[in-house]
Amino acid sequence: MNCYLGIDIGSISTKGVIVNDQDEIISSCYISTEGSPIEATKRLLNKLEIKDDYIIKGIGTTGSARKIIGLMLDANVVKNEITAHAIGTIHLYPNIKTILEIGGQDSKIIIIRNGIVTDYAMNTLCAAGTGSFLSSQAKRLDINVEDFGNIALKSKTPAKIAARCTVFAESDLVHKAQIGYSKEDIVAGLCKSVVLNYLNNVCKGKKLEEPIIFQGGVSKNKGVHKYFEEILGKEVIVHPNGHLMGAYGIALLAKKNKSNKEYSHKLLDIKFITLGTECHGCSNNCELIKIYKDNELVDTWGSKCGKF
Amino acid sequence: MGDYIIPSKYLLKHLINYEIIEPPKITSKTKEIGEKYSPEFVCTPFKYTLGTMIEALELGANTLIQFGGGCRYGYYHELQRQIINDLGYQCEVINLISGGKLINLKSLLKKFHIKKLKGLYYTFITIKMIKYMDKIDDYIRLNACYEKEVGSMKKIKEQMLKAFSETKGYFDLIKKYYYFKRKLKKVPKVNKEVMKIGLIGELYTLMEPMANYHIEDELIKMGCRVKRFTNVTYLLFQKKKAVKKYLKNFFIKYRMGSDALDNIHHTKYLCEHDYDGIIHIKSSFCTPEVTAIPIIDKVAKEYNVPIIFFSMNLNTSETGIKTRLEAFYDMLEMRKKR
């Protein structure tokens, strides 16, 4: 059976899907990156259950570590996450108009009209409205991030928390906790602040038209979803595979650009090492990133003058 | 700024009997120095120029010549002089342009004992050189995407710049220009479909590749035909006429400082001439452009042309810019296929 592998390596989590010729997801996996995309990809490929009769005809990578993993797996498509998310979502919902996406480090909005991307935006400076903020606050409150949504739903009067900046939000949160707000209210306030921050920072001036879909890791948080619907006053769809959409999109792209190459199942045995050195050829002091495959230099990135 | 050091150096070399110190190219070190001594919320050109100034002073310069601009940049030389003096460097800063007009010219002539006729002759050659350089740059921007061997046009340009810096006289310059122009036209090309992109925005960030993180090269690598209006020829010789024309237009009746007005009209031009996409870049905290952005956005939306805004700071992440640029290109490609 022909199949295509799509991997989305984000800052917090790594997602992988295998898609067959009918564009169905036949296997998927979601693990945390733990700061090491190469190791995470190896674990992911182990967990994906690539059966012996699967013939991998194409591999696509996306996410912030797309380049190195693309090199490692010799992928035929290496694309940015904005395109991958749009392609995956449009495939499932042909008449979708707005995609809201909140991931670990970044949040983005993609506006789609007639099945093509017409506008997009990504958070630029601040990570306040993203998953990493929520998880760090969860740790602070000693709650599992997974339970965040359910706890938030219990609250009737969410605490008001400054949404503009992570640092402000955190000091506000401490203040609210110290004057005795209940945990539910604080958690609900946090979820609400994520939504407000997202709408203020990312969606500036964009028209959010229905149907709207909410994706990314944070879409699993029911609290955030609830406040999106409440504040926008519109229905917001959350797909059960919302967190896999980037990987799904890139797998579809890999299928579209398929090569005649067949990928072996033993992608995992290759040793990959990245070494960072500084070039002192001029005062630019470029940080050179050298990538070794089985102790052999395969690529160097980061040079500004093109010397390497 | 960019490659304009070559004509400026040429002019000064022939006019002044002083030693001329070429400021080093802007590198990460320049950025560091500039950032260290600048107020935080000043726009980025201030930081870059301050860094360059200090680097030049370190090399032994004692007089700095600057061309101020039409926005608050016109006052920067004063502030920069104070910062430099506070740091303990003894030097003089001469600003030549303020409010779009040449100033201090007479005193400059007197100070350096420049004969008027000689001054005119070399100024004429320098202007011609700038015009030729801009023409070649325009040609490369529009055609580099077709080249068979990537980077071949840029190599010719490097050769040309070197030859220009050794120009002997007016006729020598003309000869060199036509030689390199012919050479550029002979570069083997491949016919392919390309994306037409318009590049607008604040002048310093547009013209200094280090400040815009080499966005032009990046676009050309992706296969884009890049149109850029702003260059020194435009700023010095065409802008005045253009602005008069723009002001008659019903869109905007007042000048908004610097290039804000021009950019709005360039947006309109790009939209009307079937460009696939527009990229607007500015340095952070650039006031005229911030005022212009909502209007530019509206014009582009009316014509249904995609536009993306970049705000470049000293510590903008390069990966972030690349991701957005890639996504922009993909978006244009998807639109084109329909």
CATH code, A196: 3.30.420.40
- When CB atoms are compared, the residue of A118, A124, A282 closest to B27 is A282
Q: Is residue A254 part of a domain?
A: yes
HSE toward the beta carbon, residue B234, CA cutoff 13 A: 19
pLDDT at B279: 92
Q: Is residue A228 part of a domain?
A: no
Across the interface, do B323 and A120 touch by the CB < 8 Å criterion?
no
pLDDT at B278: 92
Percent of chain A with pLDDT over 90: 1
pLDDT at B72: 76
Residue A174: domain span: 124-201
Cα distances (Å, whole numbers) of residue B337 to B193, B194, B286: 12, 12, 36
A15, pLDDT greater than 80: yes
Answer with the residue of higher pLDDT: A272 or A226: A226
Question: Which residues make Cβ contacts (< 8 Å) with residue B304, sequence separation at least 6?
Answer: none
Q: Is residue A109 part of a domain?
A: no
- When CB atoms are compared, the residue of B28, B320, B326 closest to A285 is B28
A73, pLDDT greater than 60: yes
Across the interface, do A80 and B297 touch by the CB < 8 Å criterion?
no
Q: Is residue A214 part of a domain?
A: no
Confidence of residue A127 (pLDDT cuts 50, 70, 90): low
Across the interface, do B327 and A82 touch by the CB < 8 Å criterion?
yes
What are the sequence ranges of the domains in chain B?
A: 17-113, 115-191, 193-338
Percent of chain B with pLDDT over 90: 2
Residue ending a domain, among A201, A227, A255, is: A201
Q: Report the complex ipTM.
A: 0.80
pLDDT at B280: 92
The C-alpha atoms of residue B52 and residue B33 are separated, in whole angstroms, by 8
Residue A304: its chain B contacts at CB < 8 A?
214
Same domain, A262 and A276: no
pLDDT at B99: 57
B73, pLDDT greater than 60: yes
Confidence of residue B102 (pLDDT cuts 50, 70, 90): low
Q: Is residue A175 part of a domain?
A: yes
Across the interface, do A117 and B324 touch by the CB < 8 Å criterion?
no
pLDDT at B274: 87
Same domain, A82 and A138: no
Q: What is the mean pLDDT of residues B200-217?
A: 85
> Which of A157, A219, A171 has the alpha carbon at shortest distance from A194?
A219
- Tell me the residues of A at the B interface, defined by beta carbons under 8 Å apart: 64, 79-83, 114, 116-120, 122, 124, 205, 282-286, 304
Q: What is the mean pLDDT of residues B21-38?
A: 83
A251, pLDDT greater than 60: yes
How many domains does one find in chain A? 3
Across the interface, do A124 and B27 touch by the CB < 8 Å criterion?
no
A306, pLDDT greater than 80: no
Q: Is residue A223 part of a domain?
A: no
Chain pair A-B, CB pairs under 8 angstroms = 52
Same domain, A251 and A295: no
Across the interface, do A80 and B330 touch by the CB < 8 Å criterion?
yes
CATH architecture of the domain formed by B193-338: 3-Layer(aba) Sandwich (3.40)
Same domain, A72 and A133: no
Residues A73, A267: contact at Cβ < 8 Å? Answer: yes
Q: What is the mean pLDDT of residues B271-276?
A: 89
**Alpha-carbon distance B26 to nearest alpha carbon in chain A (angstroms):** 8
Q: Is residue A133 part of a domain?
A: yes
- CA–chain centroid gap for A269, Å, is 26
Q: What is the pLDDT of residues A93-102, one digit of tens each?
A: 888 899 988 8
Same domain, A12 and A65: yes
Q: Is residue A99 part of a domain?
A: no
Same domain, A164 and A186: yes
Q: What is the mean pLDDT of residues A16-26?
A: 85
Same domain, A73 and A136: no
B126, pLDDT greater than 80: yes
Residue ending a domain, among A201, A226, A255, is: A201
A65, pLDDT greater than 60: yes
pLDDT at B190: 85
Across the interface, do B28 and A284 touch by the CB < 8 Å criterion?
yes
Q: What is the mean pLDDT of residues B6-25?
A: 80
